[in-house]
Amino acid sequence: MHLTDLQTPALVLEPHKLRANAERMRARAEALGVRLRPHMKTAKSHDIGKVAHSGVTGPITVATLNEAEYFAAHGWTDVLYAVCIAPGKLDRVAALTARGVKLTVIVDALEAAQAVAEHAGTHSAMVEIDCGEDRTGISPDDPALVAMGRVLHTAAGCTFEGVMTHGGHSYSEHEPSAMAQVAEDERAHAVRAGDALRAAGLPCSTVSVGSTPTATHARHLEGVTEMRPGVYLLGDLFQSGVGSCTSADIACTVLATVISHRRHSNRIVVDAGGLALSKDRSTAGTPFDAGYGLVLDALTGQPLGDLCVTSVHQEHGEITSRDPMPWKALPIGALVRILPNHICMTAAMYERYHLLGHGGQIDGIWTRTNGWAERPAQ
């Protein structure tokens, strides 16, 4: 099969770029002296998980139980579910534990810790620390930290692992030095929380931090045991804008077809709109604003001038340029590829990756999981 045979919009993956991104982050984790527990919420693919761990299964992070079930079905047994556990989901956690998966859940409230402690079959738990994003998590100085640690440590059948944090406020920063400061926020908060637990006589074998910008820009990770970047595997225009990768490293693009010429307003319309690209405008307001995505030649992957998707409807994407449109190069039916703003959101609408090989050849298809539904054990 060839790229030109695909129905559009379609998600296209360049495996050599993926492998290089994975290799770079493995080397980074090694240099920082921490275990790599890649977050699979972006890629949602066991094949990509294997690339992240150079061909084998290993520790991973997930953001939904659907992902945990999908990875478990493909033989992954060390999974951190890094969203505060809803007590009503503990039966699903226990079912995975019963299948031999070490599924670690996180809590930031005493009621949740008690629910975990009382739920037979729950295996492993951590407390989430807030290091400045103010999404979820508690301060390392909050007495609730030790209270939760004690409840989890003393519960029968539950292993209390330690603490984790996520410096999501790195996404409000655009300068490497500011990213490095958020990385230090992550490290210092998590380490302080670990110290508070140990001072109270509790174990804390895991001190977990991570995002792609902080993993890239951290100066050191003393006291930390693992990091959890995820978007680095595929990359996107926000990450290239903040220096986590270059735009040439972005491994995943959306293939789209030209469907209309709007010559009176110098616009081309493609069949990839808000659903196919997502409406995440994470580059908005930055010096590297890329609209809803930058436009590439479908075969060479080279940028087509300054062509950019600047407006979207559900199934229409409007491409504009400061220069006259290359109408002849992009007739109705022509293919383009679009670099995504935020790949986690863009990829979420697709069930598969098409692996792009030499000369536009499609060398294979890798499936993804999506959504929140319970996946039956296989």
Report how far residue 324's alpha carbon sits from residue 246's, in angstroms, rounded to the nearest whole number.
Answer: 27
Encoded tokens for 123: 């295996």
Encoded tokens for 248: 């040439």
Q: Considering only residues 302-341, where is the footprint of ligand PLP by CB under 6 A?
A: none
Using the minimum distance from each CB to ligand PLP, give the nearer residue, 325 or 368. Answer: 368
Q: Which of 66, 104, 212, 240: binder of ligand PLP (CB under 6 A)?
A: 212
Q: Considering only residues 224-283, where is the footprint of ligand PLP by CB under 6 A?
A: 228-232
Amino acid at 240: S
187 touches ligand PLP by CB under 6 A: no
Name residue 196's beta-bridge partners: none
Q: Three-class SS of residue 65?
A: helix
**How far apart are CB 326 and ligand PLP at their closest, in Å?**
34
Would strands 352-356 and 362-367 be described as parallel, antiparallel, or unpaired?
antiparallel
**How far apart are CB 197 and ligand PLP at their closest, in Å?**
19
Give all strands (DSSP E) within the chain, no chain letters. 10-13, 35-36, 60-62, 78-84, 102-107, 124-129, 159-165, 206-209, 226-227, 252-262, 267-270, 294-297, 303-312, 317-320, 335-339, 352-356, 362-367
**How far apart are CB 362 and ligand PLP at their closest, in Å?**
27
Q: Using the rule CB under 6 A, give the single segment among 71-79, 152-160, 206-214, 326-334 that binds ligand PLP.
A: 206-214
Calculate ∠ Cα 120-123-129, nearest 5°. 115
Q: How many CB atoms lie within 10 A of CB 147?
A: 15
210 touches ligand PLP by CB under 6 A: yes
Q: Considering only residues 146-165, where is the footprint of ligand PLP by CB under 6 A?
A: none
**How far apart are CB 135 and ligand PLP at their closest, in Å?**
8
**How far apart are CB 259 and ligand PLP at their closest, in Å?**
32
Encoded tokens for 160: 């209390």
Q: Using the rule CB under 6 A, give the single segment among 49-57, 180-188, 223-231, 354-362 that binds ligand PLP.
A: 223-231
Peptide bond into 140 cis (omega under 30): no
**How far apart are CB 169 and ligand PLP at their closest, in Å?**
11
Report how far residue 65's alpha carbon sits from residue 35's, in angstroms, rounded to the nearest whole number.
Answer: 23
Using the minimum distance from each CB to ligand PLP, give the nearer residue, 40 or 272. Answer: 40
Using the minimum distance from each CB to ligand PLP, give the nearer residue, 22 or 335. Answer: 22
Report how far residue 222's alpha carbon sits from residue 34's, in angstroms, rounded to the nearest whole number.
Answer: 9
**How far apart are CB 255 and ligand PLP at their closest, in Å?**
24
**How far apart are CB 339 and ligand PLP at their closest, in Å?**
17
Q: How many CB atoms lie within 10 A of CB 375?
A: 17
Using the minimum distance from each CB to ligand PLP, give the nearer residue, 5 or 134. Answer: 134
Encoded tokens for 145: 């930290």
**How far apart are CB 299 and ligand PLP at their closest, in Å?**
29
Amino acid at 112: A
Q: How many residues bind ligand PLP (CB under 6 A)?
A: 13
Q: Which of 44, 92, 166, 354: binder of ligand PLP (CB under 6 A)?
A: 166
Using the minimum distance from each CB to ligand PLP, give the nearer residue, 35 or 261. Answer: 35
Q: Which of 8, 45, 64, 211: binder of ligand PLP (CB under 6 A)?
A: 211
Report how far residue 149's alpha carbon sits from residue 110's, in angstroms, rounded to the nearest whole number.
Answer: 9
Q: Considering only residues 33-92, where is the footprint of ligand PLP by CB under 6 A?
A: 39, 61, 82
Report how far residue 182's alpha carbon sits from residue 336's, in angstroms, rounded to the nearest whole number.
Answer: 37
Radius of gyration of the chain (CA): 22
368 touches ligand PLP by CB under 6 A: no
Amino acid at 221: L
Using the minimum distance from each CB to ligand PLP, give the nearer residue, 44 or 268. Answer: 44
**Cα dist. 77→43, 69, 190 in Å?**
18, 10, 25
Enclosing H/E stretch for 293: none
**How far apart are CB 290 and ligand PLP at their closest, in Å?**
18
Which residues are near ligand PLP by CB under 6 A? 39, 61, 82, 166, 168, 210-212, 228-232
